[in-house]
Amino acid sequence: MTELDSDADAALVASWRDLLARHAAASCLLDRELGEKHGLGMSEFEVLERLVEERNADNSHVLRVQELADTVHLSQSALSRLIGRLEKAGLVTRAMCPDDRRGILVALTEEGCRRYAEARPLQREVLALTLGGPLEGGCPAQG
Amino acid sequence: MTELDSDADAALVASWRDLLARHAAASCLLDRELGEKHGLGMSEFEVLERLVEERNADNSHVLRVQELADTVHLSQSALSRLIGRLEKAGLVTRAMCPDDRRGILVALTEEGCRRYAEARPLQREVLALTLGGPLEGGCPAQG
DNA sequence: GGACACTACATGCACGTGCATTCAATGCAA
DNA sequence: TTGCATTGAATGCACGTGCATGTAGTGTCC
């Protein structure tokens, strides 16, 4: 291994550890805060946000499960269950896709829109806190 | 909300999504590759790496559990169990801390050192692949 | 010395995740 | 049309995680 190789290696590892630290801090705090104050997990919030961004002409917010899967970093099964939780909470509804009856359309409800709007400021606050500064020790440490 | 606020907000969200994407791609691929080819998870590798870096005068590699907890982003309980798995696999040993009999000293074994050395090139390769380029779609998508 | 708060680590438990599988619907070929 | 591979999503299962708690050891104040 040449000098340059080990330098590149060290830089890579350093950026990887920085990534890990920031992700841990942000996702842990997000899960805790959103869960406590809005009954949402980090990924639940992300899914709601994708739906909110998908504003159709008639002001409905509808996405196919597969389209959601492209933007949320979850396995297909995890996403399926997450949508199940959101549905049970009344934040989205599931409907069959008329074009392709295998597909499922996920639609944001009024309540879902409201909960997202309520949670959003807190989420942004946590992001600013954990991604803004030059990292400051993370969450999982119940001590 | 002013124009500047929403700009800052958008930038924050963009960097957050980038972070999520890179973390998902890297951690998923790491877990899969390290697991398949070396029987290690991402966090197991990280713990071994911290131990390897802790080279004492007598060439032993020993760290207290709490010291590990500071650098690995896991809860105390998760770390305890992770060390249990490493111990069962013969990659580390647990010993009581003579100074403070509450503490546990975790020591890298020969086998642990070997496994780390074997896995390291692959880990670096995955990091280069997922952190080097400008992201390219991630893992959790068993389709 | 005894009581008490605190620390370090382990463990019971509930939960979210991914993998493998299943089931229904679709598309294509013969 | 029948037969078969493929796709979209749901489900059984095992596993790793975090939270709350338990247990042992330490330090302090009286």
Provide, as residue numbers in chain A, all residues whose Cβ is less than 8 Å from the Cβ of B25.
73
Do the domain assignments include residue A27? yes
Does the pLDDT value for residue B73 go beyond 70?
A: yes
Do the domain assignments include residue A68? yes
Contact B16 A131 (CB under 8 A): yes
Provide, as residue numbers in chain B, all residues whose Cβ is less than 8 Å from the Cβ of A16.
26, 127, 131
Do the domain assignments include residue B94? yes
Q: In one letter, which amino acid is B101? A: R
Best CA proximity match to B70, nearest among A9, A134, A21, A19: A21
Substitution target in B9, B16, B80 with the highest count of A β-carbons within 10 Å is B16
Q: pTM for this one?
A: 0.90
Do the domain assignments include residue A140? no
Contact, B77 CB vs strand C, < 7 Å: yes
* Strand C footprint nucleotides (protein C-beta < 7 Å): 7-12, 16-20, 24-27
Residue B90, classed as helix, strand or coil, is coil
CA-to-CA distance for A12 and B10, rounded, in angstroms? 27
Query: Tokens 């970093």 map to which residue?
Result: A73
Of A64-68, B15-19, B50-54, B136-140, the least confident: B136-140
Best CA proximity match to A138, nearest among B30, B9, B69: B69
> What is the total count of domains within chain B?
1
HSE (side-chain half, CA atoms, 13 Å) at B93: 9
**CATH classification of the domain holding A69:** 1.10.10.10
Intra-chain end-to-end CA distance of chain A, in Å: 41
Smallest CA–C1' distance to D6, residue: B143
Do the domain assignments include residue B3? no
Instruction: Enter the DSSP assignment of A69.
Output: H
The first and second tokens of residue B17, run together, are: 């999504």
The better pLDDT of the pair A40, B7 is held by A40
Report percent pLDDT > 70 for chain B. Answer: 90
A28 and A71 Cβ atoms separated by less than 8 Å:
no
How far in angstroms lies nucleotide C4's C1' from the CA of residue B68?
30
Q: What is the pLDDT of residue A143?
A: 45
Q: What is the pLDDT of residue B132?
A: 83
Do the domain assignments include residue A142? no
pLDDT tens digits, A81-124: 999 999 999 999 999 999 999 999 999 999 999 999 999 999 99
Using CB atoms, which residue from A22, A76, A141 is nearest to B19? A22
Does the pLDDT value for residue B3 go beyond 70?
A: no
Q: Which domain holds residue A74?
A: 8-131
* Strand D footprint nucleotides (protein C-beta < 7 Å): 7-12, 16-21, 24-27
The first and second tokens of residue B108, run together, are: 């890298």
